[in-house]
């Protein structure tokens, strides 16, 4: 399988992934690919010390100079795209093009952040007092904790880190225990950028490897003003109250239960292509994966038949093999959860097509993507199962479809396929989708870095990546400057002494 060669090509030396107490396996074949030394809990105060010391220097470094480090990181990622993408495939099980696409996403956010480093801005605001100027300034916030999940082991780190760095913040990265080797390979690229940069403070970006106890210690610490955490809603329920209790900030990217509405005027062939990629890409393990298909009753039968035919042709297997479109689930526990969800769907009246474990693929947890025709939006449909399961329901009116779309606890991504302008605009209006992402004639997954990424309700409300998401990584100060020789008070208050 040449696992060690893949890691060596990405700049990892044997001592970095051998002899530790955290065993890491590849979902491709279940083989162990590393044994990492975990960060000790008693070392967390030292990690925080280094981060705070780095902050004292980095916050005074001009933002365009901070952007230069991110530019160099982008160059290193370009040079390492093929090798780092191969590690993503090895450790997360993504097909080759998706592994490469994740590294490209890192490159893209670096480009965005470099431009941002010359565009951090505040407003000048009209003052009611003569001879006064009011404005706002934005300042670095402090050490930023980034907790990432296995399904996007490096892209989400880059969304946060590229912005945090140009905003003046050091970063502490805790990757998933299921994908720490990808993190090590990414840090190797970052350290090459640091060497070229020349004068960055020590401890600017630190990696901590281990379990929930490390994350809890950092989440609880008042020395970490910002926590950006990606994972399950269950994880978010643990993180958010702890950070709020100490009046810290959270950027939470949690569960998604994303839907597509297929209207009578939809281009069905285009919809089918969008459905298949969105529902089975990354083996259904994207937070933006399509999980619910809400189809007009006049189209349901024809669309289900088209989807069954498309699903039957999907190449499933080793994600490194040419032509493979569906790789493995991350582990056999995920496969068991998928089968449990399908069993529950059957008890709730669902008709299941597919979902069987794929035989003949040694070691990995491979499953055929499932299409489940449901009589309504039952309990299992409202729950997110991180697997390639697509629940199909029908609707009569657009209002009914939107109510189904919004009738789940999660609120990440959504879309409608229609050629009716009124339907499209209604879906995007205040009376339409309640999600953070709402698309027309494009699936719910595959977001670009230029827009802010995140969702509402149990998705957590956070925003990362593009647009003005950078403001979450800074603190705002409102400033008033009196350049007159008077001292008028606001609101006409008089206080003469």
Catalytic residues, by residue number, are 253, 287
What phi and psi, each to the nearest 5 degrees, are found at residue 375?
-75, -15
Would you say 401 and 260 are in contact if contact means Cβ atoms under 8 Å apart? no
Which H or E run contains 398?
A: helix 398-406
The DSSP bridge partners found for residue 437 are 413
Q: How far is CA 138 from the centre of its chain?
A: 25
Would you say 45 and 56 are in contact if contact means Cβ atoms under 8 Å apart? no
Nearest to 113 by CA among 75, 146, 159: 159
Nearest to 260 by CA among 128, 461, 395, 168: 395
Q: Which residue has the tokens 């643990």?
A: 238
Nearest to 155 by CA among 84, 79, 90, 215: 84
Nearest to 475 by CA among 252, 248, 206: 248
- Distance, CA of 72 to CA of 54 (rounded, Å): 19
Alpha helices in 10-95 (DSSP H): 44-58, 63-79, 81-92
- Distance, CA of 119 to CA of 137 (rounded, Å): 12
β-pairing, 464-465 vs 413-417, is: unpaired
- Distance, CA of 228 to CA of 175 (rounded, Å): 12
How many residues are listed for the chain in this entry?
497
Nearest to 192 by CA among 80, 99, 105: 80
């Amino acid at each position: 399988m040449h696992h060690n060669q893949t890691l060596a090509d990405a700049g990892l030396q044997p001592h970095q992934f051998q002899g530790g107490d955290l065993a890491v396996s590849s979902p491709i074949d279940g083989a162990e690919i590393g044994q990492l030394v975990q960060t000790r809990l008693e070392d967390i105060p030292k990690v925080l010390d280094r981060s705070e010391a780095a902050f004292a220097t980095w916050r005074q470094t001009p933002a365009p100079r901070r952007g230069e480090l991110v530019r160099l990181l982008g160059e290193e990622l370009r040079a390492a795209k093929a090798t780092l993408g191969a590690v993503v495939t090895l450790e997360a099980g993504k097909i080759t093009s998706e592994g490469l696409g994740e590294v490209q996403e890192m490159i893209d956010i670096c480009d965005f952040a470099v431009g941002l480093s010359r565009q951090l801005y505040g407003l000048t605001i009209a003052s009611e007092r003569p001879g006064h100027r009011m404005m706002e300034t934005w300042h670095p916030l402090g050490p930023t904790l980034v907790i990432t999940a296995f399904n996007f082991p490096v892209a989400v780190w880059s969304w946060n880190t590229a912005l945090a760095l140009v905003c003046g913040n050091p970063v502490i990265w805790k990757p998933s225990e299921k994908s720490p080797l990808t993190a090590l390979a990414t840090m190797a690229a970052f350290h090459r950028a640091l060497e070229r940069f020349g004068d960055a403070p020590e401890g600017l970006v630190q990696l901590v490897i281990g379990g929930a106890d490390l994350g809890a210690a950092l989440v609880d610490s008042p020395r970490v003003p910002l926590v950006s955490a990606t994972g399950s809603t269950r994880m978010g329920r643990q993180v958010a109250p702890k950070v709020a209790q100490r009046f810290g900030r959270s950027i939470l990217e949690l569960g998604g239960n994303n839907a597509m509405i297929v209207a009578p005027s939809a281009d069905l062939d285009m919809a089918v292509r969008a459905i298949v990629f969105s529902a089975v890409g990354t083996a259904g393990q994207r937070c933006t994966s399509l999980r619910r298909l809400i189809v007009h009753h006049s189209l349901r039968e024809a669309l289900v038949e088209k989807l069954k035919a498309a699903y039957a042709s999907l190449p499933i297997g080793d994600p490194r093999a040419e032509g493979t479109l569906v790789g493995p689930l991350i582990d056999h526990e995920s496969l068991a959860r998928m089968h449990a969800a399908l069993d529950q769907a059957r008890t709730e009246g669902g008709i299941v097509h597919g979902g069987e474990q794929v035989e003949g693929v040694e070691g990995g947890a491979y499953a055929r993507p499932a299409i489940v025709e449901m009589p309504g939006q039952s309990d299992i449909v409202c729950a997110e199962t991180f697997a390639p399961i697509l629940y199909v329901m029908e609707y009569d009116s657009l209002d009914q479809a939107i109510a189904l779309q919004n009738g789940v606890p999660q609120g990440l991504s959504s879309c409608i396929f229609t050629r009716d302008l009124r339907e499209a605009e209604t879906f995007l209006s205040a009376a339409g989708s309640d999600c953070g992402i709402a698309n027309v004639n494009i699936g719910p997954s595959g977001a670009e870095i230029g827009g802010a990424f995140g969702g509402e309700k149990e998705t957590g409300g956070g925003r990362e990546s593009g647009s003005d998401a950078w403001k979450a990584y800074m603190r705002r100060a409102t400033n008033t400057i009196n350049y007159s020789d008077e001292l008028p008070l606001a609101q006409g208050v008089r206080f003469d002494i």
